[in-house]
Homo-oligomer: A and B are copies of this chain.
Amino acid sequence: MVTTESTAPSTAPTPLSATNFDPASFDFNAYLTAQRQQVETALKQSIEVVYPEQIYEAMRYSLLAGGKRLRPILCLATCELAGGNPALAMPTACALEMVHTMSLIHDDLPSMDNDDYRRGRLTNHKVYGEDVANLAGDALLAYAFEFIAAHTPNVPAERVLQVIQRLGRAVGAAGLVGGQIVDLASEGQSDVTLETLNFIHMHKTAALLEVSVVSGALLAGASEAALTHLTRYAQNIGLAFQIVDDVLDITSTQAELGKSIGKDEAAQKATYPSLLGLEASQQRAEQLIQTAKAELADFGEARQPLLALADYITARTH
Contact = CB atoms under 8 A, between A and B. Distances in A.
B177 A149 contact: no
Interface stretch (A154-162, A233-241, A259-267): A154-162
A91 to B, nearest CB: 11
Contact of A130 (B111, B139, B157, B182): B111
B149 A172 contact: no
Contact of A173 (B56, B112, B129, B173): B56
Interface stretch (A27-35, A78-86, A163-171, A272-280): A163-171
A131 B157 contact: no
Interface in A115-173: 129-132, 134-135, 137-147, 149-150, 156-158, 160-162, 164-165, 167-169, 171-173
Interface of A: 52, 54-56, 59, 102, 106, 109-112, 129-132, 134-135, 137-147, 149-150, 156-158, 160-162, 164-165, 167-169, 171-173, 177-178, 180-182, 184-185
Given A52-B178, A54-B181, A142-B177, 17 more contacts: A54-B185, A55-B178, A106-B135, A111-B111, A111-B131, A134-B134, A141-B141, A142-B168, A142-B171, A142-B172, A143-B168, A144-B168, A146-B172, A147-B168, A156-B157, A157-B158, A164-B164
